[in-house]
Amino acid sequence: MILKRRMIIAGLLATTFCFPGTASMAGNRSGFQFSFDGFDGNPLPLSRFRDRAVLVVNTASECGYTGQYAGLETLWQNYRHMGLTVVGVPSNNFGGQEPLEGEQIKNFCTLNYGVTFPLADRTDVVGRAAHPFYKWALAQAGPKARPRWNFHKILLDRDGKIAATFATAVEPTSDQVRRAIINALGAGS
Protein backbone atom coordinates (compact mmCIF):
# COMPACT_ATOMS: atom_id res chain seq x y z
CA MET A 1 0.00 0.00 0.00
CA ILE A 2 2.79 2.45 0.89
CA LEU A 3 4.67 1.57 -2.31
CA LYS A 4 1.52 2.13 -4.36
CA ARG A 5 0.99 5.58 -2.76
CA ARG A 6 4.60 6.55 -3.41
CA MET A 7 4.28 5.51 -7.05
CA ILE A 8 1.13 7.62 -7.46
CA ILE A 9 2.80 10.64 -5.83
CA ALA A 10 5.92 10.15 -7.95
CA GLY A 11 3.76 9.99 -11.08
CA LEU A 12 1.93 13.19 -10.17
CA LEU A 13 5.19 14.99 -9.44
CA ALA A 14 6.72 13.78 -12.70
CA THR A 15 3.70 15.04 -14.64
CA THR A 16 3.89 18.42 -12.94
CA PHE A 17 7.62 18.88 -13.48
CA CYS A 18 7.90 17.34 -16.94
CA PHE A 19 5.01 19.37 -18.31
CA PRO A 20 5.11 22.68 -16.43
CA GLY A 21 1.76 24.34 -16.11
CA THR A 22 -0.19 21.32 -17.34
CA ALA A 23 -1.69 20.42 -13.99
CA SER A 24 -2.87 23.96 -13.36
CA MET A 25 -4.01 24.77 -16.92
CA ALA A 26 -7.27 22.85 -16.82
CA GLY A 27 -8.31 24.19 -13.41
CA ASN A 28 -7.40 27.81 -13.97
CA ARG A 29 -10.31 29.76 -15.34
CA SER A 30 -8.81 33.27 -15.76
CA GLY A 31 -6.60 34.58 -18.52
CA PHE A 32 -5.59 37.47 -16.27
CA GLN A 33 -2.91 35.35 -14.59
CA PHE A 34 -0.65 35.49 -17.68
CA SER A 35 1.96 38.01 -18.68
CA PHE A 36 3.63 38.64 -22.02
CA ASP A 37 6.94 40.35 -22.64
CA GLY A 38 6.14 43.83 -23.94
CA PHE A 39 7.71 45.19 -27.12
CA ASP A 40 9.76 47.52 -24.90
CA GLY A 41 11.23 44.69 -22.81
CA ASN A 42 8.94 45.35 -19.85
CA PRO A 43 6.34 42.85 -18.67
CA LEU A 44 2.85 43.17 -20.12
CA PRO A 45 0.70 41.42 -17.49
CA LEU A 46 -2.90 40.78 -18.49
CA SER A 47 -3.79 41.38 -14.82
CA ARG A 48 -3.27 45.06 -15.67
CA PHE A 49 -6.55 44.77 -17.61
CA ARG A 50 -8.54 42.97 -14.92
CA ASP A 51 -12.24 43.93 -14.99
CA ARG A 52 -11.96 44.80 -18.69
CA ALA A 53 -12.74 42.70 -21.74
CA VAL A 54 -9.51 41.86 -23.56
CA LEU A 55 -9.13 40.93 -27.23
CA VAL A 56 -5.82 39.06 -27.63
CA VAL A 57 -4.72 38.82 -31.27
CA ASN A 58 -1.62 37.11 -32.67
CA THR A 59 -0.32 39.43 -35.38
CA ALA A 60 2.39 39.64 -38.05
CA SER A 61 3.79 42.51 -40.11
CA GLU A 62 4.25 40.64 -43.41
CA CYS A 63 0.95 38.78 -43.66
CA GLY A 64 -1.88 39.19 -46.13
CA TYR A 65 -4.06 40.01 -43.10
CA THR A 66 -1.73 42.69 -41.70
CA GLY A 67 -4.29 45.32 -42.71
CA GLN A 68 -6.40 44.07 -39.79
CA TYR A 69 -4.20 46.23 -37.55
CA ALA A 70 -6.36 49.16 -38.70
CA GLY A 71 -9.55 47.37 -37.65
CA LEU A 72 -8.05 46.42 -34.30
CA GLU A 73 -7.13 50.07 -33.70
CA THR A 74 -10.71 51.06 -34.62
CA LEU A 75 -12.07 48.61 -32.02
CA TRP A 76 -9.64 49.96 -29.44
CA GLN A 77 -10.68 53.56 -30.13
CA ASN A 78 -14.41 52.81 -30.24
CA TYR A 79 -14.71 50.51 -27.21
CA ARG A 80 -11.87 51.30 -24.80
CA HIS A 81 -13.99 53.86 -22.94
CA MET A 82 -16.50 51.04 -22.35
CA GLY A 83 -13.82 48.71 -20.98
CA LEU A 84 -12.18 46.93 -23.93
CA THR A 85 -8.44 46.46 -24.29
CA VAL A 86 -6.87 45.11 -27.46
CA VAL A 87 -3.52 43.34 -27.03
CA GLY A 88 -1.42 42.53 -30.09
CA VAL A 89 0.85 39.49 -29.80
CA PRO A 90 3.22 39.42 -32.80
CA SER A 91 4.16 35.89 -33.80
CA ASN A 92 6.54 34.40 -36.33
CA ASN A 93 4.91 30.95 -36.19
CA PHE A 94 3.11 31.13 -39.52
CA GLY A 95 5.19 31.45 -42.65
CA GLY A 96 7.94 33.49 -40.98
CA GLN A 97 5.76 36.57 -41.45
CA GLU A 98 6.95 38.45 -38.37
CA PRO A 99 10.67 39.17 -38.76
CA LEU A 100 10.52 42.23 -36.49
CA GLU A 101 11.19 42.35 -32.76
CA GLY A 102 10.89 44.85 -29.93
CA GLU A 103 10.75 48.51 -30.90
CA GLN A 104 10.74 47.56 -34.61
CA ILE A 105 7.27 46.05 -34.10
CA LYS A 106 5.93 49.15 -32.36
CA ASN A 107 7.44 51.44 -34.99
CA PHE A 108 5.96 49.41 -37.85
CA CYS A 109 2.50 49.32 -36.27
CA THR A 110 2.50 53.00 -35.35
CA LEU A 111 3.83 54.32 -38.66
CA ASN A 112 1.72 52.10 -40.91
CA TYR A 113 -1.53 51.65 -38.95
CA GLY A 114 -1.55 54.26 -36.18
CA VAL A 115 -1.62 51.52 -33.53
CA THR A 116 -1.85 52.78 -29.95
CA PHE A 117 -3.11 49.61 -28.22
CA PRO A 118 -0.68 47.49 -26.13
CA LEU A 119 1.75 45.25 -28.01
CA ALA A 120 3.76 42.29 -26.81
CA ASP A 121 7.14 41.37 -28.22
CA ARG A 122 7.35 38.52 -30.72
CA THR A 123 5.89 35.43 -29.05
CA ASP A 124 5.30 31.78 -29.98
CA VAL A 125 1.57 31.04 -30.03
CA VAL A 126 1.55 27.38 -31.14
CA GLY A 127 3.61 24.24 -30.62
CA ARG A 128 5.74 23.14 -27.71
CA ALA A 129 7.17 26.64 -27.22
CA ALA A 130 3.73 28.30 -27.23
CA HIS A 131 3.25 30.98 -24.60
CA PRO A 132 1.38 29.67 -21.51
CA PHE A 133 -1.60 31.92 -22.33
CA TYR A 134 -2.14 30.04 -25.59
CA LYS A 135 -1.74 26.65 -23.88
CA TRP A 136 -4.27 27.73 -21.28
CA ALA A 137 -6.70 28.98 -23.98
CA LEU A 138 -6.45 25.63 -25.76
CA ALA A 139 -7.14 23.78 -22.50
CA GLN A 140 -10.13 26.04 -21.77
CA ALA A 141 -11.80 26.37 -25.17
CA GLY A 142 -10.43 23.47 -27.19
CA PRO A 143 -9.27 23.56 -30.82
CA LYS A 144 -11.15 26.77 -31.68
CA ALA A 145 -8.68 28.64 -29.44
CA ARG A 146 -5.63 27.38 -31.33
CA PRO A 147 -4.36 29.92 -33.87
CA ARG A 148 -4.10 28.38 -37.32
CA TRP A 149 -2.70 31.55 -38.86
CA ASN A 150 -1.91 35.17 -38.02
CA PHE A 151 -4.67 37.44 -36.70
CA HIS A 152 -6.56 34.75 -34.79
CA LYS A 153 -8.55 36.45 -32.02
CA ILE A 154 -9.36 35.37 -28.45
CA LEU A 155 -11.81 37.52 -26.49
CA LEU A 156 -11.73 37.43 -22.68
CA ASP A 157 -14.66 38.73 -20.66
CA ARG A 158 -14.25 40.95 -17.59
CA ASP A 159 -13.59 37.85 -15.44
CA GLY A 160 -10.78 36.66 -17.71
CA LYS A 161 -12.81 33.77 -19.14
CA ILE A 162 -12.82 33.06 -22.85
CA ALA A 163 -15.95 34.69 -24.25
CA ALA A 164 -15.31 34.00 -27.94
CA THR A 165 -12.67 33.10 -30.50
CA PHE A 166 -12.47 34.26 -34.09
CA ALA A 167 -10.62 32.79 -37.03
CA THR A 168 -8.13 34.85 -39.00
CA ALA A 169 -10.53 35.78 -41.80
CA VAL A 170 -13.06 37.34 -39.40
CA GLU A 171 -12.52 41.09 -39.65
CA PRO A 172 -12.04 42.85 -36.31
CA THR A 173 -14.80 45.35 -37.11
CA SER A 174 -17.32 42.71 -38.22
CA ASP A 175 -20.76 42.62 -36.59
CA GLN A 176 -19.85 39.20 -35.16
CA VAL A 177 -16.84 40.57 -33.27
CA ARG A 178 -18.62 43.75 -32.18
CA ARG A 179 -21.58 41.77 -30.76
CA ALA A 180 -19.21 39.50 -28.84
CA ILE A 181 -17.37 42.52 -27.42
CA ILE A 182 -20.61 44.14 -26.28
CA ASN A 183 -21.64 40.86 -24.61
CA ALA A 184 -18.22 40.44 -22.98
CA LEU A 185 -18.46 43.98 -21.63
CA GLY A 186 -21.80 43.10 -20.08
CA ALA A 187 -23.58 45.75 -22.15
CA GLY A 188 -25.44 43.31 -24.40
CA SER A 189 -29.12 42.49 -24.32
Whether residue 6 lies inside any domain: the answer is no
CA gyration radius, the chain: 18
DSSP for 112-147 reads: HH---S-BBPS---SSTT--HHHHHHHHHHGGGGS-
Say how many C-beta atoms besides its own lie within 10 A of residue 189's C-beta.
5
pTM of the predicted model as reported, rounded to 2 decimal places = 0.85
pLDDT of residue 188: 46
Whether residue 59 lies inside any domain: the answer is yes
Whether residue 16 lies inside any domain: the answer is no
* pLDDT tens profile 49-70: 999 999 999 999 999 999 999 9
Terminal-residue alpha carbon distance, the chain: 57
pLDDT of residue 2: 53
Question: Which band of pLDDT confidence, cut at 50, 70 and 90, is reported for residue 29?
Answer: confident
Whether residue 13 lies inside any domain: the answer is no
Catalytic residues: 63
For helices 175-184 and 68-79, the axis angle rounded to 10 degrees is: 40
At 58, which CATH number?
A: 3.40.30.10
Look at the chain and report how many structural domains it folds into: 1
Per the structure, the complete domain to which residue 112 belongs is given by 30-184
